[in-house]
Amino acid sequence: MNFTCTENREKLSESLCFAIEQNPFAMILADTQGKIEYVNSGFSLLTGYSFEEAIGQNLFFFIPDKTPLKSYAQVWNTVTSGIEWRGKLRNKKRNGKSYWFSVSISPVRSSEGTITHSVAVMEDITERKRLEIKLRKSENTAKRLSRQFRSFVEALDTSIILLSGELKVLWANNATAKLFGKELPDITGRYCYQLWFNRTTPCAECPAIKCFHTGVPESLQFSALNNRFINVKVFPAEEKDNTSRKVIMAATDITDEVIAQTESMRNGQMEKFRELAASIAHEINNPIYGIVNCAQLIHKESAENKNINPDFVRLILKESDRIVSMTKSLLSFVELKNVMKINCDIREIISDLLALVGAVMKKEGIRINVCFPADMPKLIGYPQQLQEAFLNLISNARDALNEKHPHSDQNKILEISGKTITLKGINHAQIVFYDHGCGIPANNIKKVMVPFFTTKSFKKSPGLGLNICEKLIKAHDGTMEIDSKEGEFTKVIITLPPGI
């Protein structure tokens, strides 16, 4: 029985020796003084030193030469006190090539518990370390690029917003805070439709929702933020695993650009209208003067020829004069003869405008009452600019009256009046356009002169009419005020200085 146990132990010891020798990790066995008694083949593969070269060396000969003596003492004190020590070190092989290794040094105890040896297990981690260094460099590069990109995004004038799948703001740059007039903490976490339109539900034409559905960039232009015109582009920003969908929204305030484009388009249209109107007026004037001349000759003959009815002749002359007056008003509106301020007669400007649009408004059942005192002060200004402003106000009044009274009504009235007021000792002309139309809601009165604010569809009216009127009046150092009551009236009050 004892022989069998001894035989089994010998076989087990032999197996353990093979296992240690063939282990891919480098293994070192040292006595209590740190003197190496055994190294396996893994040690020779790792360090390049043979078994014979290692035996008798101090356990720490594999530790780099530049390691302070204090560190040796700390490691050895840890092991001899019965505690395992672990570390990662860099050294040179026998051929001078550098390598990284991890090492654990543990005490070996006898059956009585006495420390008799120490065993060191070393693993080559050179490739792992190389990858770690490469990864760390990549991470540092990524962090640097991220900081640079963030600085770039923060420096943009364009608002950049990162939206979640629920349309919540996850991140925004400083331009976004400036665009909304809020601090960034008041923006992040909110829904985009709350920020843009103060809505409780997503918008019907939301480009972000479309981008989520299509997976391609989407864009939209809309009026928001106190009627600023905004151009929005949305791009998908999905994660690689598609588990967390996001979109990037880039928003730009293009109000000034749209105003410039709209005014350029309006000027182009006005130029074409002027050319057409001038052509028509001249074509009408030529034959009408012929008719007037012939009518005057007939009128002279009617004194001697009793067969000619003078009333008919007077009627021809009267209507001809009316046509001449209309073409004269049309020409005064369209011909750009004056690039400098000149004397302006407000009564004459209103009269010329009503000669153009009065007949149409009369057919729609609109009654126009005009009241200007004879001593209405004359102004120094640009008559065509004043004509354009007044025509816009008359057109707005016409729309309001037709909306409230689609058919004839005794209250379908536009009153245009003027008077002289004194401000700071100087006489000013005050002109009032007072219509009994549908009026303006109280919460919209302060908005109606803001660019792009409109209660109509944008295609029908881009919301620049009253804004342009105000600019034209301000160009004459005047003021324009609006008083209105929804469902009852709108009163536009213009005050103009003499301009001299």
Query: Of 392, 443, 421, 437, which Cα lies nearest the Cα of 495?
Result: 421
Domains (range + CATH), the chain: 14-124 (3.30.450.20), 156-253 (3.30.450.20), 257-337 (1.10.287), 340-500 (3.30.565.10)
Among 5-19, 59-73, 322-336, the least confident range: 322-336
Long-range CB pairs of 124-133 (<8 Å, 24+ gap) are: 124/26, 124/46, 124/99, 124/100, 125/88, 125/100, 125/101, 126/98, 126/99, 126/100, 126/101, 128/100, 129/88, 129/100
Q: Does 156 score more than 90 pLDDT?
A: no
pLDDT digits (tens, 9 = 90+) for 312-356: 777 787 777 767 766 765 666 555 554 577 888 888 889 888 887
The b-or-e profile of 26-37 (16+ CB within 10 A means b, else e) is: bbbbbeeebebe
Q: What is the mean pLDDT of residues 94-114?
A: 90
pLDDT for residue 385: 82
Highest-confidence segment of 100-109, 140-149, 268-277, 445-454? 100-109
What global pTM score does this model have?
A: 0.48
- Identify whether the C-beta of residue 381 lies closer than 8 Å to the C-beta of residue 341: yes
pLDDT for residue 380: 85
Find the angle CA(382)-CA(386)-CA(388) to the nearest 5 degrees.
120
Among 201-215, 255-269, 411-425, the least confident range: 255-269
Band (pLDDT 50/70/90 cuts) for residue 364 is very high
Band (pLDDT 50/70/90 cuts) for residue 459 is very low
Percentage of the residues of the chain whose pLDDT score is greater than 90? 35
State how far Cα 383 lies from the chain centre.
40
- Identify whether the C-beta of residue 467 lies closer than 8 Å to the C-beta of residue 449: yes
Q: Does 209 score more than 70 pLDDT?
A: yes
φ and ψ of 445, to 5 deg = -60, -40
- CA gap 151, 291 in Å, rounded: 77
pLDDT for residue 493: 94
Q: Does 65 score more than 80 pLDDT?
A: no
pLDDT for residue 161: 93
Residue 431 pairs with which residues in a beta bridge? 418, 494
Band (pLDDT 50/70/90 cuts) for residue 369 is very high
Of residues 293 and 161, the one with the higher pLDDT is: 161
The structure tokens listed for 449 are: 């002169």
- CA gap 293, 308 in Å, rounded: 16
Q: Does 228 score more than 90 pLDDT?
A: no
pLDDT for residue 229: 83
Non-local (6+) Cβ contacts of 289 within 8 A are 324
Among 69-73, 422-426, 437-441, the least confident range: 69-73
Q: What is the mean pLDDT of residues 124-135?
A: 90
pLDDT for residue 73: 80
Q: What is the mean pLDDT of residues 462-482?
A: 82
Percent of the chain as helix, strand, coil, to the nearest 5: 45, 25, 30
Among 260-264, 333-337, 349-353, 481-485, the least confident range: 333-337
pLDDT digits (tens, 9 = 90+) for 26-52: 999 999 888 999 999 999 999 999 999
pLDDT for residue 339: 57
Residue 48 pairs with which residues in a beta bridge? none
Q: Does 3 score more than 80 pLDDT?
A: no
Among 61-70, 128-137, 220-229, the least confident range: 61-70
| Mean pLDDT score of the chain | 83
pLDDT for residue 1: 45
Percentage of the residues of the chain whose pLDDT score is greater than 70? 85
